[in-house]
Amino acid sequence: MTSSPAHVLTDDELDLLELALGGAVPRLPFAEGPVTLTDTENTPLAEVGDDGSVSPVKPIAAALGPQWDERLRVPARDVSADVAPGTTAVWLAEAPTAEDVAAVARAAETGELLLLVPASRHTAPGTVGAAGLTRAALALAAETGNPRVVVVPYPHGSAARAGGASSGGPTAPADMAPAPSDIATAYGAERLLVPADERSPEARAALAALPDAHARAVAALYPAASAREVERAAAAGHSRGTVVFFTGLSGSGKSTVARALAAELDDDGLETTLLDGDAVRHHLSKGLGFDRESRETNVERIGYVASLVAKHGGIAVAAPIAPFAASRAKVRALAEATGARFLLVHISTPLEVCEARDRKGLYAKARAGEIPDFTGISSPYETPDDADLTIDTSEVSVEDAVTRVRAAI
């Protein structure tokens, strides 16, 4: 590690870092060295040198879902070493239609294929996310001679540049989004096929009409006055909101479980907002200290935002340390006052396990007196006696933990 300034990576920047470390892009357009790149938990992931070179420091955290399968999420340099000359890359930024499957099958008859799945860490509402695209790609491979499927980390904002015009959501700056053709080349392919670009006018029109299909069906079944009331009722009938609030020591695994839970709920098409402790500190509570009053203010801010999400039928997943019972009780009250479900999940992993896992060296610094008011060392953690669910991640896998939380909500 160096003493260079730190830069906290956004989701798009994390995707670009993963591409760079895998040899798919030559440099990072958002980082001029020297700089240390960290995730939202302030874990150093890479160093950027004066010449723009990128060196890994610690592994990028993986999550759940088929898009994180290490057999599929393979660095470009490793894939390109195995790709046959003349291979065509198929860019699957959308779930393939029947026409797309036929186009890929025709391409498979003329040479080797490589199915590339651009997988973002963010899923735009109403779209098929990385997990769904990966499952669809595996099914497509099974229908077309089993070409290799590779998951490519790819900034969400750039998805519309090739076959993802319906992706919606925020847009990454153009110079941050590597062209799919360049990605295909980095992974060893000589040609690029974007099935969505080959669709017939009839297929494009049918896809464009899908969002209004329900309204058209209602209009055909009801007279105008009744149709308006049916549409009004459907618009108002959102599901009851939910706040899932994780609490536990630093290093207990609460953020890992929270991220995995949010990803699964997103994949199910549920409106989910993740309020992770370090990310909130960086944005919502920037400037607050770590004394008791500041900690309680931070937790109550998280609780307030979570209650707003739940009030409108969404799911808020929060994962601060939240060491004090009083502030946790206020968060519960805020959520329940909106009519939302509230689930307090205590990640009860023992202190010694948390210390052994510490990626950032915080416990060692706290024991050396370099970090005051550190929960579990120089500041108390009040163990919940009102937890709706208690999970020790030293005994329970992330997958099983997510299953337990989902069952509880």
Binding residues for ATP: 248-255
Residue 377 token pair: 């060392």
**45 in Cβ contact with 34 (< 8 Å):** no
Other Cβ atoms within 10 Å of 348 Cβ, number: 20
**Which residues 6+ apart lie within 8 Å of 124 measured at CB?**
156, 167, 168, 169
**157 in Cβ contact with 132 (< 8 Å):** no
Three-state SS for 104-118 is: HHHHHCCCCEEEEEE
What is the DSSP code (8-state) at residue 244? E
Q: In whole angstroms, what is the distance from residue 207 CA to residue 242 CA?
A: 32
CA end-to-end distance (rounded Å), the chain: 42
What pairs with residue 343 in β-bridges?
A: 244
- DSSP notation for 389-408: EEE-TTTS-HHHHHHHHHHH
b/e burial code for range 40-49 (CB count within 10 A of at least 16 → b) = bbbbbbbbbe
Q: In whole angstroms, what is the distance from residue 163 CA to residue 185 CA?
A: 18
Burial class (CB in 10 A: 0-12, 13-18, 19+), 369: exposed
Residues in binding site: 248-255
| Residue bearing tokens 């309020």 | 275
CB-side exposure of 50: number of CA atoms within 13 Å? Answer: 0
| Residue bearing tokens 């969404």 | 314
Q: Do strands 148-153 and 113-119 pair parallel, antiparallel, or not at all (unpaired)?
A: parallel
- DSSP notation for 203-232: HHHHHHHGGGHHHHHHHHHS-HHHHHHHHH
**Which residues 6+ apart lie within 8 Å of 230 measured at CB?**
218, 222
**135 in Cβ contact with 119 (< 8 Å):** no
**199 in Cβ contact with 99 (< 8 Å):** yes
